[in-house]
Structure 1
């Protein structure tokens, strides 16, 4: 729906200064500016470095960056700081060694860099790709024999920008002055956490299985249809049976060889030989409509033109006009749909120094600060989410100090505890042994409530009265059916902030569509611009949409809480997780809208940097590297011992190197194959060449930089024992990571503390609830759930 021009902007009371040239800083600033903050960009005399980033559009003043324009909507531009005497927030994207004290004083300062302010990689040259290589994201995608497939664009920096916004927004809620440090590298480790946790017990997860193939399930990828491409994700046995029924092969769905995803993946060639020809019999749109009826997690995989024209996204204002000089084109809007205070859609990009000498507008008086400590100390969040996206949202809030109460049911625990229906799974408490659940739910309290009962629903309402926010990712119809949706809960707490996380939003024809993180990537169009030109549209990650949705949900909650702090008003947030993926696709969306084409699929190459790619090393390793500017080219040649290439004047500029890119890549590969990946990275970085060894997710625990920064924190938990947990990607400057204060709860571990302590239920009442199965500490086996339901 179009934004109400009279709607308030929740961050309009803030002054933000943005320094430095990285996309992460600019994207954090974009969230602030599009929510109404007075964001001023300090540009160097020659202009912001991102003004040269593709895609470029022709304007009366020459080629200009559509990417910079989109990142800079509703911001001010200055080349000097006169007239800016103070600010609430300084977003400092300059490398740690280049920061100075010349900036005006700020209540909150956030240094945002590739690798943080300390550790062996601190001063590494980096690009989005080399940073993501070191974060464990790239290694598992692509052909079995390699090279791994490198997604271009700005995906890693966007993740870093969201992390920076979340850290700063939490600090603003406390009101106390704070100096923060944000690592883009560490922020991106969240994308690889699933594989890192599951590969401990399932090594198949850490293996390239081929283009559009990923453990732990099959099918999981993009497939050709009579017209268009279909993104398919099948996980559960029931989904596989329904899929086989849909394609006219019901007997395959009951074949005992194909019950679980790992077994199906072991027979992937046999299965694809069956279903790929059948998918070609109908269009992608027809299969998608059938999947909606069957509640299967499928998506049409659009190219950029089709994505921009999709009626569901147009109706939600997922794209809006960006003004750059006399040119207009469309880019993604912020996905945080705050219903009371939505963000601006679109806007104008400033000219360099346009606001020099112009004083900042007046702003409201600052609110008093809360006592120092963790930024969100004193806030309480009720967590009704399961899986990855919702729990990652609440984990970020918990890491920042919020008291998070996770609500499960003995009948239906969080599905990341495991979905095995066999009796031994329950008898042996295997649902307490899943490391994935442990990683996503640390720092939280855990209770059980059967919300299908009047007593359970009433207790949840009582809990909400004592809470500031609720996060839920149930299917759209579940909470209304239980009488626990936002209209019901806001009657218990009028200033409640609540976020719902449907795949495609809470309205429109796709509102009931089922989706996994891979489905969201498929629907975002990202596969259509990924991989080599002769490949099918290429899935980039097992479940990209889950962590991206979770990080964006945390940003939405924090923005709404900042608005509530100023006005006392709560609100509901309708977060369409697919829209959270659109900023990752922004360079191609902008190119399509501005120039009529998203451009060619470049595989591991880059539209500006030459060379740019992924190269084999000894010991089955790989390294990503990039020549980010012409001045770096002779340094690369010196490292690989090819001074003859450096002396060739035809190769001095990127355009000349582009014409002989294959020859250059062969020369680099001849050098890298003789060296281990870390040794090659060290040699290249010593010459200032952006390079990063491709890490497997489980290998991140041994990464020397992460180890030196204390990123891995030892945790002890019942049933899991000793294990390492990744830290939050932000910390107070000069200090260590925020502590992991407690491990993930066992099922119902905090029933007494929360129901007895917080809500005041006496022991006899709690015992009666346990006897009735409304609360408990052990999961109910599937067979008993069915018999119990039949007896009710």
Structure 2
């Protein structure tokens, strides 16, 4: 039974969506599927996305895009501009000269933001992600880099817009926001940008399904099916080697750390690839579950849609437009009290012209005219990338975030090296990745495995609005710190849990990294060249995607709480957060019976399209989006005879000579730097983007002009640059990095003493007992402590 609209968390909102593009549509979809009255303003001929293949028959001889329909469920379509004053929110993607009046909260969504050298650039999802540093590390070592098609970049831009707007709604103050899809995608590359400064191997291509700084990480053939494998820690490598019957390899001192294993990848793959081929992927996965290894079966689209666990969690819902019906991903923000609609109907153009909007509801009471989330308190129990990225977005927006670690088990992004020197030299304070993910937060240590530590956490939660955690499913219940226990301390608490496959079902205890989530989403099955194995697209795609979605879920629940006083638990299956990135192929599979061919760096409709070599080992992404752009490309490369050839005037004609056109374009790009070629093509209106290495983003002229990299200093790290949030107040600089990431237990006195009122003597006693402290406990001492306990 679909939820009543009035019971949905955003039912009190009126939102107008003006312009076109996937990022705009996905931001609107988040509002609409959570109950807001979303009005889509279209031209009389309809949004250009309506013509995006595959098309489905809608009745009366008409056809509409299945992808468009999925993006626009539960919205209204009008072709005459309604009065902006009747709306709470305007999602605006029209160019500056075409914009109309604004709403109290207006979000300007564009590829590159409102200022900077790229602000007027022609762009596609691929050329934007190229400039964001997403592609350079993927593909054959010799190139070209592998560029995932689809809508992944725009989906992240849409989530960023939604997060900025929901935070503004919580503040209760009018705001004019600016959202950069480009900067939202830099979030995907910031891991490599940070680690590449000290580990050059991260800033290199190592081959298809190979990524620094660990090994193995990729997709491997089995007797039946494909297995996604990710091994990071020394303990995981030992368990993997035992699983394949080679325990002696797991004990080899050459292979302790992932970067060492990558240097011996040919030797290691020669050993384990034949052994993996002895059993089915499903059999290996079942054993990996028992061994708590982060592996996954890599499904094709038909298998993904039929997976019983996803069906049980309503991960796919029916989408309708006209007479057509098929399935697409539902929103992954599984709010247990107020879940989103599962599917819905998309409107035909102008279907709601002249129809009245639902009655207005009283707005949420205001909180602050300063930073949007000022006054909000969040307890951060998460580690790694996804959870800390969620809480970082909240902290950037002004929330008071307290990160809780244990001396015995600090955040694993401080490092996983078990050797004694790692602790003696306090290397766990010197990892820039941790610094990037945990800025603007306070940090305390608490041993939650002892009653006094757990009791102190409960006291922190009493005064908190939200908790974010990504422990294994069984950890917090064993400690007496799961949602029911914490909600007893704070009944209106909003808590986000981030299990890989959700908190229910047969895979609820599966371990996963961001790469595991990508593998399980089926995305590798549609990426890469047709003759490649299923291709991993990024070191850990699922982590940033999960973090951004978790923030969206939490902010939605907080808006519901502000209106009703009700808290709730959020069961966020991180693998489901990947499904919107896979949506073009999911809806194609459901609507037509096939996801379509793998195109590699080519495009089903844009010709030529690809990644082309430049001088100085550079590469450039180029997309000829229509026939007029083809003429601009010919002018840019000085080939008037190609422009004059009638056989090449359409994409279909160019497809017949695609290889020759690619060769002509490559001959031109090879004689220019990537930035020089980009400038020449953009001058003619051709979408083109230099492929940035992640560390090269620090020097990108557009990001620097926009003040995206903010300087800061921190103990053990020294001066370094922090990336900004992908949204800002329009006409201003980015939200400030107000403080560096905390050293271990840095704020014990300020939080446990100042906030909870513990005396210096009590703090000293807790430190003497090992419940709090400022130095990590070495692995060997942890084992001794456990044995004594």
Query: What TM bracket, shorter-length normalisation?
Result: over 0.9
Query: How far off its partner does 1:214 sit?
Result: 0.6
**Equivalent in the alignment of 1:628:** 625
Q: Provide the C-alpha distance between the structure 1 equivalents of 2:604 and 2:454, rounded to a whole number of angstroms.
A: 55
Q: Provide the C-alpha distance between the structure 1 equivalents of 2:237 and 2:97, rounded to a whole number of angstroms.
A: 55
Instruction: For residue 67 of structure 2, give the secondary structure of its aligned residue in structure 1.
Output: helix
Q: Is the 8 A contact 2:623 2:688 kept in 1?
A: yes
1:431 aligns with 2:431: no
Q: Is the 8 A contact 1:435 1:720 kept in 2?
A: yes
1:749 aligns with 2:735: no
**Equivalent in the alignment of 2:470:** 473
Structure 1 residues 499-545: Cα deviation after superposition (integer angstroms, max 9, x where no partner) = 00000000000000010000000000000000000000000000000
Query: How far off its partner does 1:660 sit?
Result: 1.2
Instruction: For residue 319 of structure 2, give the secondary structure of its aligned residue in structure 1.
Output: strand
Q: Provide the C-alpha distance between the structure 2 equivalents of 1:416 and 1:202, rounded to a whole number of angstroms.
A: 15
**Equivalent in the alignment of 1:90:** 90
Query: How far off its partner does 1:427 sit?
Result: 1.8
1:617 aligns with 2:614: yes
Q: RMSD across aligned C-alpha pairs, in angstroms?
A: 1.1
Task: Specify which of 625, 628, 638 is matched with residue 641 of structure 1.
Answer: 638
Q: Provide the C-alpha distance between the structure 2 equivalents of 1:83 and 1:119, rounded to a whole number of angstroms.
A: 31
Q: Within 5 Å, give how 1:745-784 maps onto structure 2.
A: 745-784=742-781
Structure 1 residues 320-343: Cα deviation after superposition (integer angstroms, max 9, x where no partner) = 000011010000000000000000
Task: Specify which of 589, 592, 598 is matched with residue 595 of structure 2.
Answer: 598
**Equivalent in the alignment of 2:265:** 268
Task: Specify which of 148, 151, 156 is matched with residue 151 of structure 1.
Answer: 148
Instruction: For residue 742 of structure 1, give the secondary structure of its aligned residue in structure 2.
Output: coil
**Equivalent in the alignment of 2:221:** 224
Q: Provide the C-alpha distance between the structure 2 equivalents of 1:729 and 1:55, rounded to a whole number of angstroms.
A: 31
Q: Within 5 Å, give how 1:304-319 maps onto structure 2.
A: 304-319=301-316
Q: Provide the C-alpha distance between the structure 2 equivalents of 1:259 and 1:54, rounded to a whole number of angstroms.
A: 48
**Equivalent in the alignment of 1:14:** 13
Q: What runs of 5+ residues in structure 1 fail to find an aligned partner?
A: none
Task: Specify which of 264, 278, 292 is matched with residue 281 of structure 1.
Answer: 278
Structure 1 residues 466-507: Cα deviation after superposition (integer angstroms, max 9, x where no partner) = 000000000000000000000000000000000000000000
Q: Provide the C-alpha distance between the structure 2 equivalents of 1:84 and 1:346, rounded to a whole number of angstroms.
A: 27
Q: Are the structure 2 counterparts of residues 7 and 457 from structure 1 closer, same or farther at C-alpha, using a change threshold of 3 Å?
A: farther
Q: Provide the C-alpha distance between the structure 2 equivalents of 1:712 and 1:275, rounded to a whole number of angstroms.
A: 42
Q: Provide the C-alpha distance between the structure 2 equivalents of 1:267 and 1:367, rounded to a whole number of angstroms.
A: 58
**Equivalent in the alignment of 2:701:** 704
Q: Provide the C-alpha distance between the structure 1 equivalents of 2:210 and 2:362, rounded to a whole number of angstroms.
A: 55
Structure 1 residues 708-752: Cα deviation after superposition (integer angstroms, max 9, x where no partner) = 000000000011000000000100000000000000001111111
Q: Provide the C-alpha distance between the structure 1 equivalents of 2:701 and 2:684, rounded to a whole number of angstroms.
A: 20
Q: Are the structure 2 counterparts of residues 99 and 428 from structure 1 closer, same or farther at C-alpha, using a change threshold of 3 Å?
A: farther
Query: How far off its partner does 1:218 sit?
Result: 1.1
Query: How far off its partner does 1:617 sit?
Result: 0.2
Q: Is the 8 A contact 1:54 1:587 kept in 2?
A: no
Q: Is the 8 A contact 1:446 1:749 kept in 2?
A: yes
Structure 1 residues 59-99: Cα deviation after superposition (integer angstroms, max 9, x where no partner) = 3333321111000000000000246642110000123x334
1:422 aligns with 2:419: yes
Query: How far off its partner does 1:369 sit?
Result: 2.1
Instruction: For residue 193 of structure 2, give the secondary structure of its aligned residue in structure 1.
Output: helix
**Equivalent in the alignment of 1:576:** 573
Structure 1 residues 433-460: Cα deviation after superposition (integer angstroms, max 9, x where no partner) = 1000000000000000000011000000
**Equivalent in the alignment of 2:712:** 715
Task: Specify which of 186, 191, 208 is matched with residue 188 of structure 2.
Answer: 191
Q: Provide the C-alpha distance between the structure 2 equivalents of 1:544 and 1:432, rounded to a whole number of angstroms.
A: 25
**Equivalent in the alignment of 1:135:** 132
Q: Is the 8 A contact 1:7 1:341 kept in 2?
A: no
Aligned residues: 788
**Equivalent in the alignment of 1:65:** 65
Q: What runs of 5+ residues in structure 2 fail to find an aligned partner?
A: none
Query: How far off its partner does 1:57 sit?
Result: 2.1
**Equivalent in the alignment of 2:39:** 40
Q: Is the 8 A contact 2:725 2:734 kept in 1?
A: yes
Query: How far off its partner does 1:371 sit?
Result: 3.1
Structure 1 residues 131-187: Cα deviation after superposition (integer angstroms, max 9, x where no partner) = 000000001100011110010000000000000100000000001000000000001
The normalised TM-score by structure 2 is 0.99
Q: Is the 8 A contact 2:219 2:228 kept in 1?
A: yes
Query: How far off its partner does 1:7 sit?
Result: 8.6
Query: How far off its partner does 1:52 sit?
Result: 1.4
Structure 1 residues 294-325: Cα deviation after superposition (integer angstroms, max 9, x where no partner) = 11111000000000000010000000000011
Query: How far off its partner does 1:3 sit?
Result: 5.8
Instruction: For residue 549 of structure 1, give the secondary structure of its aligned residue in structure 2.
Output: helix
Task: Specify which of 443, 446, 449 is matched with residue 443 of structure 2.
Answer: 446
**Equivalent in the alignment of 1:81:** 81
Q: Provide the C-alpha distance between the structure 1 equivalents of 2:13 and 2:58, rounded to a whole number of angstroms.
A: 32
Q: Is the 8 A contact 2:5 2:11 kept in 1?
A: no
Q: Is the 8 A contact 1:7 1:342 kept in 2?
A: no
1:724 aligns with 2:729: no
Q: Is the 8 A contact 2:85 2:103 kept in 1?
A: no
Q: Provide the C-alpha distance between the structure 1 equivalents of 2:396 and 2:48, rounded to a whole number of angstroms.
A: 33
**Equivalent in the alignment of 2:787:** 790
Instruction: For residue 252 of structure 1, give the secondary structure of its aligned residue in structure 2.
Output: helix
Q: Provide the C-alpha distance between the structure 2 equivalents of 1:136 and 1:77, rounded to a whole number of angstroms.
A: 36
**Equivalent in the alignment of 2:483:** 486
Q: Provide the C-alpha distance between the structure 2 equivalents of 1:344 and 1:773, rounded to a whole number of angstroms.
A: 47
1:740 aligns with 2:744: no
Q: Provide the C-alpha distance between the structure 2 equivalents of 1:784 and 1:259, rounded to a whole number of angstroms.
A: 20
Q: Is the 8 A contact 2:105 2:176 kept in 1?
A: yes
Q: Provide the C-alpha distance between the structure 2 equivalents of 1:242 and 1:364, rounded to a whole number of angstroms.
A: 56
Q: Within 5 Å, give how 1:545-564 maps onto structure 2.
A: 545-564=542-561
Query: How far off its partner does 1:789 sit?
Result: 1.9
Structure 1's consecutive aligned runs of 4 or more residues displaced over 3 angstroms after TM superposition are: 2-7, 82-85
Q: Are the structure 2 counterparts of residues 33 and 742 from structure 1 closer, same or farther at C-alpha, using a change threshold of 3 Å?
A: same
Q: Within 5 Å, give how 1:322-333 maps onto structure 2.
A: 322-333=319-330
Q: Provide the C-alpha distance between the structure 1 equivalents of 2:642 and 2:23, rounded to a whole number of angstroms.
A: 34
Q: Provide the C-alpha distance between the structure 1 equivalents of 2:64 and 2:226, rounded to a whole number of angstroms.
A: 33
Q: Is the 8 A contact 1:83 1:359 kept in 2?
A: no
Q: Is the 8 A contact 1:621 1:694 kept in 2?
A: yes
Query: How far off its partner does 1:366 sit?
Result: 1.5
Query: How far off its partner does 1:408 sit?
Result: 0.4
Q: Provide the C-alpha distance between the structure 2 equivalents of 1:99 and 1:367, rounded to a whole number of angstroms.
A: 31
**Equivalent in the alignment of 1:52:** 51
Q: Provide the C-alpha distance between the structure 2 equivalents of 1:673 and 1:20, rounded to a whole number of angstroms.
A: 37
Q: Is the 8 A contact 1:83 1:360 kept in 2?
A: no
Q: Provide the C-alpha distance between the structure 2 equivalents of 1:651 and 1:510, rounded to a whole number of angstroms.
A: 51
Q: Are the structure 2 counterparts of residues 661 and 62 from structure 1 closer, same or farther at C-alpha, using a change threshold of 3 Å?
A: farther
Q: Provide the C-alpha distance between the structure 1 equivalents of 2:762 and 2:97, rounded to a whole number of angstroms.
A: 62
Q: Provide the C-alpha distance between the structure 2 equivalents of 1:8 and 1:356, rounded to a whole number of angstroms.
A: 26
Query: How far off its partner does 1:56 sit?
Result: 2.1
**Equivalent in the alignment of 1:376:** 373
Instruction: For residue 77 of structure 1, give the secondary structure of its aligned residue in structure 2.
Output: strand
Q: Provide the C-alpha distance between the structure 2 equivalents of 1:376 and 1:212, rounded to a whole number of angstroms.
A: 40
Higher mean displacement: 420-429 or 500-509: 420-429
Q: Provide the C-alpha distance between the structure 2 equivalents of 1:381 and 1:488, rounded to a whole number of angstroms.
A: 17
Higher mean displacement: 337-346 or 758-767: 758-767
Q: Is the 8 A contact 2:529 2:601 kept in 1?
A: yes
Q: Provide the C-alpha distance between the structure 1 equivalents of 2:22 and 2:375, rounded to a whole number of angstroms.
A: 33
Task: Specify which of 405, 408, 412 is matched with residue 411 of structure 1.
Answer: 408
Q: Provide the C-alpha distance between the structure 1 equivalents of 2:412 and 2:222, rounded to a whole number of angstroms.
A: 32
The normalised TM-score by structure 1 is 0.98
Instruction: For residue 286 of structure 1, give the secondary structure of its aligned residue in structure 2.
Output: helix
Query: How far off its partner does 1:363 sit?
Result: 2.4
